Amino acid sequence: MTKPLNIGMIGYGFMGRAHTNGYKRVGDFFPELKYRPVLKAACARNKENIQAFADQWGYESIETDWKTLIARDDIDAVDICVPNNLHKEIAIACAEAGKMILCEKPIAMNTAEGEEMCQAVEKAGVANTVWYNYRRVPAVTLAKQIIDSGKLGKIFHYRANFLQDWTIAEDLPQGGAALWRLDADAAGSGVTGDLLAHCIDTAIWLNGSVSDVTAMTETFIKERVHQETGQKQKVSIDDACAFLCHFKNGSLGLFESTRYARGHKALYTFEINGENASLRWDLHDLHRLEMFDHADEGIVRGWKSIHVTDGDHPYMDKWWVPGLQIGYEHSFVHHVADFLKSLESGEPCHPTFRDALETQKVCDAVLASASDRSWHSVS
Query: First CA to last CA across the chain, in angstroms?
Result: 46
* Residue 148 touches its own copies, criterion: CB under 8 A: no
Among 38, 62, 186, 286, binds its own copies (CB under 8 A): 286
Binders in 8-27 for its own copies, by CB under 8 A? 14, 18, 21, 24-25, 27
The only residue of 90, 191, 196, 291 in contact with its own copies, by rule CB under 8 A: 291
335-374: contacts with its own copies (CB under 8 A): 373-374
Subset of residues 163 to 192 that bind its own copies, contact rule: CB under 8 A: 163-166, 168
Round the CA-based radius of gyration of the chain to a whole number and report it. 21
CB of 344 to its own copies, least distance (A): 18
User: What contacts 15, CB < 8 A, 6 or more positions away?
Assistant: 81, 104, 131
User: Is residue 325 near its own copies by the rule CB under 8 A?
Assistant: yes
Short-list 307, 334, 301, 342, CA closest to 318: 334
Nearer to its own copies, 152 or 184 (CB): 152
- Taking the least distance from each CB to its own copies, the nearer of 6 and 273 is 273
Dihedral (Cα; 173, 174, 179, 182), 10-degree rounding: 130
Helix (H) or strand (E) holding 142: helix 138-148
Q: Is 267 a binder of its own copies (CB under 8 A)? A: yes
Distance CA 180, CA 189 (A): 10
Q: Binding segment for its own copies among 122-130, 180-188, 226-234, 255-263 (CB under 8 A)?
A: 255-263
Neighbours of 299 (CB within 10 A): 6
Site string for its own copies, 197-216 (x = CB under 8 A): -----------------xxx
Choose among 219, 180, 198, 215: nearest CA to 364: 215
Q: For its own copies, give the closer residue by CB, 169 or 346.
A: 169
Residues 27-66 that bind its own copies (CB under 8 A): 27-28, 31, 55-58
